[in-house]
Structure 1
């Protein structure tokens, strides 16, 4: 392929739609974005979503996402992108959101006209106007029923890679079927946000890919197909509404004539299966076996490449988007930057510089003190509140400011390592951590991360890893899974070494990890979390 060939990747996050274009040398040539709140004010979303009065239900309108695609393609056109150079398109989207196409919608998709925007022509295509998204927590009772119907949370985790979660698609579908059966029966196809977006570029229903599909509590991640027992417990006639899942590197077909006529895409432009934002981030960070990516943001998220896994109630196991043989693990910790900011305000007068100075002023291991800090009910471990233990494992009321700061940071990273190991992650001699998110810029925090895991920590140059991963997957899809994703790179993406572990890191944190496990179990048991 010549150097003027390009690959286009999209990412529908909660608050915006992003696009990245890379050339055949994997260098970024164009990028653009559309903010749902700012650029599409007519939808009156806040943070890209509607938060309902019950404070549990959270939705977003799919027609807003469609209009965002209309806008971002126009922006890329104005930016000078030659759409005829695009050889393949793929995408990523916020995981767990679901879109409900009404009967007859695919026929409308087949007949869209290039002289009108897509959002003008697809207004009436949805049996449910607004889509539940990952922030929704209105399905607790359906989760409990679902777990019982399958044989318990461990059995569900064994089949699907996760116990039941409110935001997962199975409980959302069960809620729709039981509370709005007419709407459910009028639904022709159920898409994830990722396959919904791919559908737009094909103008016919796109299948759900295995990696995003394994975040639904419906896919048997071993058989790589929908689980009959999960489908039966969830809702009737569900298999036909979901379609057949496909490997994440699948070429779904060529781009629809609408985009050829309206924007000048080549008729040969291929659409590669879209996937979830977390699997796409695994690609965007070039994660490899034995590596870990950690995003330190509002919530802290850990991505792991696993060759095998242990069924666990910790986190989520997904099919790997880069190879159908392996898995990826996803661990999400709600208490991220907000908790760090609280301790910063309490101990360092709101100054990150003073916070870092306090952190650096205390030795590794913090004199044997361990802290666990949870402003809201955590996912893993399921705990809330602050817990401070001295070197004798006794609960204490207060730490000094410098001990408090180190107890917070060490405690957060001890938890991440404990629960990563719980799902089967093993640190190897060549393992590394790729850190992203706001706190990855704090050298003192990153140094503790490196010490606790006893591996070097690198920082990625380009922050939009999901969007970049989508563009990289577009090229990989053309080459085929058997080519090997990492073989595409003549040289790795630019990573900056941020921290190396201290020589005594294993000696100090090995015993602390054992203590942390014991203390965490004790708190959960004593408080009946």
Structure 2
């Protein structure tokens, strides 16, 4: 309820996340009035696979829309924005009905396609077509897997959508995708912001499956679904979760976004297209028209800590894990953790990589391992950082940090020490707020950006110099292990 006696203008942001669907209501000044969420399961039909039912997304959507409706907010509704997990692909028939469960971004079933394409076409040509190296979780690999293993399903495909694009189709009846999620399909000519038609033909992909290709702020239709108060509202194309999160954080060129969430993400906005310095760094279209970004990802960041807490601390609060880790000296008396629990994307590009505790002795306890997990994730993020910027490249003007892991004072201090750079820890508005901002900017382009709420700053401290030495030990270890993982994968392949 507005204190000035009038109903504020508000926008609805929807985030189709990996663990659940979140809805936020945000005023045109950036104030979050209401938020709610509903969870859904992930199926693992076989090790390394991950699938979700679009029907579960719809049940969650109905739940959150109902909760927003019942909240009775005194607002003037102005628009709706959508975001969601990138790469996750839904294949549909001519009525838009899913033909099979959605294959998630974390699924590893398509990991053989990238190396095969590189061997056949060459990385140089592939990067000329798409801007990027083919990775196992780009959507094209999943589509090719369906073609090779589920031919009956493949023959029925008439529409293909990324997670949020399918939900937006349900909301509006309009098929299409937009530049940020299209970048993650491995079918877009990212530099020129249109489909890589030669590559699509080579792969047997029909561009019409994807519908209209939009910029994120394009209004694609009006709301045709859910409670009556939302009907007729303009719905924008939206953005993938990483770009939407950067928009929600109000990240600008010159600032590096670091997200310490389930995965660890470095996000570097660009005003013009620039080829990245290393194949593990993606170059994608940004949610801002005619802007791009570099992005690199370490697969298991906060999820490494969650795994460790669940295995060694049961239901103990994370604050207790933090407190125990804090009493252990930097370097954990020789223990190094390699956080490759779900393979790795950057800068070591090996889906077959695995997590490692190295240097264990009989005198080590779970407290040493707890701190080693925090340090190992920090090392992995620094490995990505050093690969992105190198010794000679210009450094970011500011490092802006978000994500659930950023709530840990100890963890952010370790990361500042390892990076050797100050970190501005800011309130994480989340991707749904970014989606609401995209809707807001489409409806009222005259408004300035929403304010960013800074929480604290972590400054490199007494352990910074020591951690630089330890980081080089970590880096050498991962490169040695890389050969081990490669030979192990070859042996397993030969045995199968």
Whether TM exceeds 0.5 here: the answer is yes
Q: What is the 5 A alignment of 1:86-101? A: 86-101=77-92
Compared with structure 1, are the counterparts of its residues 209 and 311 closer, same or farther at alpha carbon in structure 2 (3 Å cutoff)? Answer: farther
- After superposition, the C-alpha distances for 1:372-400 in whole angstroms (9 at most, x for unaligned) are 424635313344353647xxxxxx86785
| Partner residue in 2 for 1:50 | 43
| Partner residue in 2 for 1:413 | 378
Please tell me whether the aligned partners of residues 92 and 159 of structure 2 are also in contact (alpha carbons under 8 angstroms): yes
Q: Distance in 2 between matches of 1:336 and 1:504?
A: 22
Q: Distance in 2 between matches of 1:224 and 1:20?
A: 30
2:211 is equivalent to residue 243 of structure 1: yes
2:464 is equivalent to residue 493 of structure 1: no
Please tell me whether the aligned partners of residues 398 and 424 of structure 2 are also in contact (alpha carbons under 8 angstroms): no
Q: How many residues align?
A: 471
- After superposition, the C-alpha distances for 1:398-417 in whole angstroms (9 at most, x for unaligned) are 78568766554334323212
Structure 2 segments unaligned to the other structure (5+ residues) = 1-5, 488-496
Q: Distance in 2 between matches of 1:61 and 1:366?
A: 42
Compared with structure 1, are the counterparts of its residues 311 and 189 closer, same or farther at alpha carbon in structure 2 (3 Å cutoff)? Answer: farther
Compared with structure 1, are the counterparts of its residues 352 and 235 closer, same or farther at alpha carbon in structure 2 (3 Å cutoff)? Answer: same
Please tell me whether the aligned partners of residues 50 and 103 of structure 2 are also in contact (alpha carbons under 8 angstroms): yes
Secondary structure of the residue aligned to 1:86 is strand
The Cα of 1:28 is off from its aligned counterpart by 1.1
CA RMSD between the two structures: 3.6
2:63 is aligned, of 50, 71, 78, to 71
The Cα of 1:496 is off from its aligned counterpart by 0.4
1:184 is aligned, of 134, 150, 154, to 154
Q: What is the 5 A alignment of 1:317-396? A: 317-334=283-300, 336-338=302-304, 342=308, 353=320, 356=323, 359=326, 362=329, 371-374=336-339, 376=341, 378-379=343-344, 380=346, 381=348, 382=350, 383-386=353-356, 388=358
TM-score normalised according to structure 2 size: 0.82
Q: Distance in 1 between matches of 2:479 and 2:70?
A: 57
Please tell me whether the aligned partners of residues 337 and 375 of structure 2 are also in contact (alpha carbons under 8 angstroms): no
The Cα of 1:164 is off from its aligned counterpart by 2.9
The Cα of 1:181 is off from its aligned counterpart by 3.8
The Cα of 1:371 is off from its aligned counterpart by 2.5
- After superposition, the C-alpha distances for 1:232-271 in whole angstroms (9 at most, x for unaligned) are 23224x1121234222222223334x56xx513474x321
Q: Distance in 2 between matches of 1:331 and 1:161?
A: 17
| Partner residue in 2 for 1:122 | none
Q: What is the 5 A alignment of 1:9-28? A: 9-28=13-32
Compared with structure 1, are the counterparts of its residues 500 and 32 closer, same or farther at alpha carbon in structure 2 (3 Å cutoff)? Answer: same
- After superposition, the C-alpha distances for 1:89-132 in whole angstroms (9 at most, x for unaligned) are 111111112222312x2xxxxxxxxxxxxxxxxxxx42504222
Compared with structure 1, are the counterparts of its residues 397 and 195 closer, same or farther at alpha carbon in structure 2 (3 Å cutoff)? Answer: same
Please tell me whether the aligned partners of residues 344 and 355 of structure 1 are also in contact (alpha carbons under 8 angstroms): no
Compared with structure 1, are the counterparts of its residues 226 and 421 closer, same or farther at alpha carbon in structure 2 (3 Å cutoff)? Answer: farther
2:395 is equivalent to residue 465 of structure 1: no
2:191 is aligned, of 222, 230, 247, to 222
Please tell me whether the aligned partners of residues 3 and 25 of structure 1 are also in contact (alpha carbons under 8 angstroms): no
Structure 1 segments unaligned to the other structure (5+ residues) = 37-47, 106-124, 390-395
| Partner residue in 1 for 2:494 | none
Q: Distance in 2 between matches of 1:421 and 1:210?
A: 27
Please tell me whether the aligned partners of residues 254 and 271 of structure 1 are also in contact (alpha carbons under 8 angstroms): yes
Secondary structure of the residue aligned to 2:177 is coil
